[in-house]
Amino acid sequence: MTFVAGQLRIASVNLQEGGIDTDTGSDTRWRHTIDVLAGWEPHIVLVQEMRSPSPQHTLRRHLHRTANALGMTPVLGPVSPEPGSGNYPAILIAAGSGLTVLDDGPWPAPGAPPWCHALVQIPRMHHPIRFYSVHLPARSVTAQLAWAEYLANRIAQLGELTVAGGDWNSFSRADAAQLTPQHLQRLSPHLIPPRMRLSDTGQRAPNYDVHDVLDVTGLVDAAAQLPPGCRDPQELTPTGHSGVGRIDRFYTTHALAAAVRSYRQQPTGGSDHHAIQLTIDLATAAAVIPREPLP
């Protein structure tokens, strides 16, 4: 796989229960998503809800099948800490593209976080980039915030060039115009506790706690900082079936944000989330020097 115009292509997708229908075992939804991703030719895919609810598709078999369909090598993360979800994050890395995985994790263990990571050396880059596939808990803003704090702390301490993307199950301040009380009325009742709070006037207001803890640490909402002409669609639009806010987002370390060149999102026909993609200019990224890690 080549680097067209010297750009690294990073996709993120929530498969919605692996793309496999629980009742029938049909993989039609999975095939739709794979078709969209294959058309994008990504070098890195950040996956959420890698799972297999069907007996004929074991988890690891489905993981490797997904990676093989895209010509990629998989890294599997730990099961989500959210009770009963059975979902796993994963990262797929393009085979034969010169990408080298230097490190990955974390190892599955009780209390493992809702993400996985891979440190990848990229051709033309002097320093590797660590990628995180993140899937924060859907039902608790307290749990979301706690894990976001741990993630932001880890990224800040390591000092690496970083791209963290996935399903944050929460809102960004860049979407405030789409998150008025009228918009928020569309949300299903079970999404009210983790995504809203009461304003000083007693109206429903979006909860930005997760975004704020990432932002204050120096992480950048990558799509939001691009000019409209570098986005497809040009306006920031919802990524989930609720039609309210971009719950799927990419964040980059501040120094790496200048290398981001474009963003796109697209429904796949196979999930209740849009797939999203970010491109990074390798020449610009290669000039960025990461900060030394902290003790």
Q: Which pLDDT does position 57 carry in this prediction? A: 66
Question: DSSP letters along 28-91, please?
Answer: HHHHHHHHHHHHH--SEEEEEEE---STTS-HHHHHHHHHHHTTEEEEE-PPPSSTT---EEEE
In the chain, which residues have pLDDT < 70? 54-57
Beta strands in 161-225 (DSSP E): 161-167, 196-198, 204-206, 219-221
Of the candidates 42, 8, 285, the residue with the CA atom closest to the CA atom of residue 161:
285
CA 59 to chain centre: 20
Query: Is-above-0.85 flag for pTM?
Result: yes
Burial class (CB in 10 A: 0-12, 13-18, 19+), 14: buried
Element (H, E) at 154: helix 141-158
Q: Which CATH number fits domain 4-286: 3.60.10.10, 3.10.20.740, 3.40.50.2000, 3.50.50.60?
A: 3.60.10.10
109's enclosing H/E stretch is none
- In the prediction, which pLDDT does 56 show? 64
Residue 181: the pLDDT is 85
Q: What is the pLDDT of residue 50?
A: 96
Number of Cβ atoms within 10 Å of the Cβ of 205: 17
* Domain assignments of the chain as residue spans, ordered by start: 4-286
Residue 284 pairs with which residues in a beta bridge? none
Predicted pLDDT at 194: 86
